[in-house]
Structures are given as structure tokens and as C-alpha cells.
Amino acid sequence: LFPYTTLFRSVRALLDGARRGLARCGVAADRVDVAWVPGAYEIPVMVREMARSGRYDALVALGAVIRGETAHFEYVAGPCADGVARVQLDTGVPVGFGVLTTEDVAQATARSGPGAGNKGDEAAVGALETLLVLRAIREAVDRDPFAPCSVHLSESVEEMEFIKTGGGAWRTLLEDLGV
């Protein structure tokens, strides 16, 4: 039971980080759904079904795969990453990838801790930034399919806050998100 307890703690800490990142970006807690799966191998099918449902503008995949003494790591980590990437490409729904692939428990704990560097936080903010960029591009193409389009979001939450209060298309995009 030790490995499962440790993995669960790491994944729970990633979820806490994702919630903090989403809250920092202004996403209300009641706009966040959580779906649990038995393991990382099952993440892509759940992400695909959620993306296809039309209920979600962005998703965040969280999990942990710790290398052991068998080939299990290779059979799980790669297909999980590939499957999640395929969901994004097939559906156009951005998916923040916060599935840890580590050599040991210490690395998983370090990447899921409460401070800076929590990969759940980074994946959640990355999914939102990708969503905003995709929406801006799609909006620009809808206005004029032949006009050049340039979109950039900073990695800084402070600059995202500036964009939120700056009006224009960004305000519309964030209001659509409920931010």
C-alpha cells in the first residue's frame, strides 16, 4: 500500500496546486470539476470524454508515475503523455499536462509541493493561457481569415491580471471563461 498512498498524496498535492493556480487566475472554485481515474494509463480516455462533452473549455491532467524496477513505467508514462497530446490535437481543447514522471518518491514530492514549482499549478495556468491564445486566434480568423495574427501571453500572473482589466478582446475571453 505504501506506493499507492505516496502517489495519492502527490496527486492530491498537484490538484491543490492546480486549484491555487486557477484561483490566482480568477477561476471560481465552483467552475472546476474533478474526475478521478484508477491510474495514469486511464487519464487519456477520461480527458477525451471530458473534451468531447462540450462542457469544458480547458482541461488539466494530473497524475504521477514513479519509475520502479520493472518496465511498467515505460508502458504507462509514454502512452499517457501521447494520449493526452492526441486529445488536444483531435478536439482542439487545451489540456494542461501535470502528470509527473519521476525516478523516485522524493522527486514526485518536490514537484508537487505547496510552493513554487508545483506542476499542478503550472499545468492549470498553462491550460488557461493556451485557451486564451487559441480563442484570440480563432476570433481573429473569424473577423478576417487572411489578416496576420499575433498573440502573446506572459508567464506572469500579474500580466494576466493586466490583460483581465485591460478591456477589449481579452476581457471578452475572460468573461466567457467566468474569470
Check if the beta carbon of residue 14 is closer than 8 Å to that of residue 62.
yes
Measured CA to CA, the distance from residue 10 to residue 15 in angstroms comes to 9
In order of 1, 75, 162, the CA distances from 94 in angstroms are 34, 24, 22
One of 12, 72, 138, 143 is an active-site residue; which one? 72
Residue 72 is among the residues annotated as catalytic for this protein: yes
Check if the beta carbon of residue 40 is closer than 8 Å to that of residue 99.
yes
DSSP three-state, residue 161: helix
DSSP string, 12-78: HHHHHHHHHHHHHTT--GGG------SSGGGHHHHHHHHHHTS--S-EEEEEEEE--SSTHHHHHHH
Instruction: Give the active site residues.
Output: 72
